[in-house]
Amino acid sequence: MSQAQAEIYDLGYQHYDGPRGGRMQAVKSLWVNSFRTTIGLGRGARAKILPVLMSLFVIAPPAVFLVIAAVSPVAAQVSHADFYTATSILLLLFSAIIAPELLIPDRRNGVTTLYLVRPLTAFDYVIARWSAFLTVALLVTLFGQVLVLIANSLAAEQAREFLQENWLDIPRFILAGVIITVFVTTIPMAVAAFTDRRAYAAAFVIAAFVITTPMSGLLTTEWCERSMTFAVESGEIVEELGPEECRRITGDYAKWFVLLDVGQAPTHLGDMLFDDDTPDDASILVAELPPAVPIVWYGLLVVGPGALLLWRYRSMSI
């Protein structure tokens, strides 16, 4: 009877002579890693909770609306601008918490050094991380807008006619989506470049947006009052209400102070893109400004932190 014999060969160290990508391959792999990190892939269950919740919160309302529109012939329309107004705060929260995750652990664990000794510049590193997060945020946002569009067309009497009449909404909501997601990606990442604690970065970003909203509101809200006069007529005291007088504490400058609410900077541009039938107070005030002002303000809020983010990584000593 023959006995089967097996031998294990140790091939020793094998040199790699396969294909090698260059700098683009390095950026691409970092981008893929960042994309996976953002949505919690390859990480524990905890890392998946927030991306899943955020996606649900953003997508669920238009999904519900879509179902209603599909089954009910009298469903109302939802504007794309309103969808952004409703979801921008969720996007902001998501970004404030998740975006720092892409930069801070690398710096705290010293992994940034290992990236920068590979064919990557500091600029490549930041762009790969930034664009991966932007892609996730944009995909979620645009998916929600597509649901809104489908729901609106189903709610209309003639879906085809509705789409023919409103096809311009598609480039509008794409552009508005880019404007919002660039904003909510850049600012938290810039903050994350200057602290080694994710909680501090998230708290700073949320606080900055939370604080500026009431500040701006206080300075721009219109306060109205009516004078009351008393007269004696036929021996009786008669109260007479005067005309309502409304004013803002910042007077004619209120339209400028609206810009203090930094979280609304992308929304102002969105308002310029969509014809909103029911603008809120802030939108009415911003509309009084020259159109270049909200654009420049948004640009400053994105380019400034973006430049700081790049400067921080270019000047980092490793």
Among positions 109, 168, 171, 240, the unique one binding other proteins when judged by CB under 8 A: 109
Work out whether 115 is an interface residue with other proteins (CB under 8 A).
yes
Find the DSSP H helices in 193-280.
Answer: 198-220, 254-257, 265-273
Q: Which of residues 24-53 bind other proteins (CB under 8 A)?
A: 25-26, 29-30, 33, 42-44
For the CB of residue 199, give the shortest distance to other proteins in the complex, in Å: 16
CA pair distance 144, 11, nearest whole angstrom: 53
Burial of 148 (0-12, 13-18, 19+ CB in 10 A): buried
For the CB of residue 112, give the shortest distance to other proteins in the complex, in Å: 8
Q: Which residues of 281-312 are buried (b: 16+ CB within 10 A; e: fewer)?
A: ebbebbeeeeeeebeebbeebbeebbebbbeb
Among positions 2, 4, 6, 12, the unique one binding other proteins when judged by CB under 8 A: 12
* Distance (Å) of CA 198 to CA 40, 136, 195, 203, 215: 16, 19, 8, 9, 26
Work out whether 19 is an interface residue with other proteins (CB under 8 A).
yes
Number of amino acids touching other proteins (CB under 8 A): 34
Among positions 72, 113, 158, 227, the unique one binding other proteins when judged by CB under 8 A: 113
Work out whether 235 is an interface residue with other proteins (CB under 8 A).
no
Give the nearer residue to other proteins in terms of CB position, either 117 or 228.
117
CA pair distance 178, 268, nearest whole angstrom: 14
Give the nearer residue to other proteins in terms of CB position, either 107 or 172.
107
* Residue 229 backbone dihedrals phi, psi, to 5 degrees: -115, 150
Question: Per the structure block, which two tokens stand in for 18?
Answer: 């396969």
Among positions 9, 13, 223, 230, the unique one binding other proteins when judged by CB under 8 A: 13
Among positions 48, 52, 53, 118, the unique one binding other proteins when judged by CB under 8 A: 118
Q: Compute how many other C-beta atoms are within 10 angstroms of the C-beta atom of residue 33.
A: 17
Work out whether 18 is an interface residue with other proteins (CB under 8 A).
yes
Identity of the residue numbered 274: F
Cβ contacts of 222 within 8 Å, gap of 6 or more:
246, 247, 248, 281
Furthest C-alpha separation in the chain: 134
Question: Per the structure block, which two tokens stand in for 241?
Answer: 């209400």
> Using CB under 8 A, which of the segments 58-66, 109-117, 149-157, 207-215 binds other proteins?
109-117
> Using CB under 8 A, which of the segments 1-9, 59-67, 112-120, 295-303 binds other proteins?
112-120
For the CB of residue 53, give the shortest distance to other proteins in the complex, in Å: 20
Torsion of CA 294, 295, 300, 303, to 10 degrees: 150
Among positions 1, 5, 6, 20, the unique one binding other proteins when judged by CB under 8 A: 20
Work out whether 131 is an interface residue with other proteins (CB under 8 A).
no
Work out whether 77 is an interface residue with other proteins (CB under 8 A).
no
For the CB of residue 111, give the shortest distance to other proteins in the complex, in Å: 5
Work out whether 73 is an interface residue with other proteins (CB under 8 A).
no
Give the nearer residue to other proteins in terms of CB position, either 19 or 235.
19
* Distance (Å) of CA 221 to CA 19, 85, 241, 246: 63, 19, 23, 10
- Rule CB under 8 A: which residues touch other proteins? 12-16, 18-23, 25-26, 29-30, 33, 42-44, 105-106, 109-111, 113-121, 318
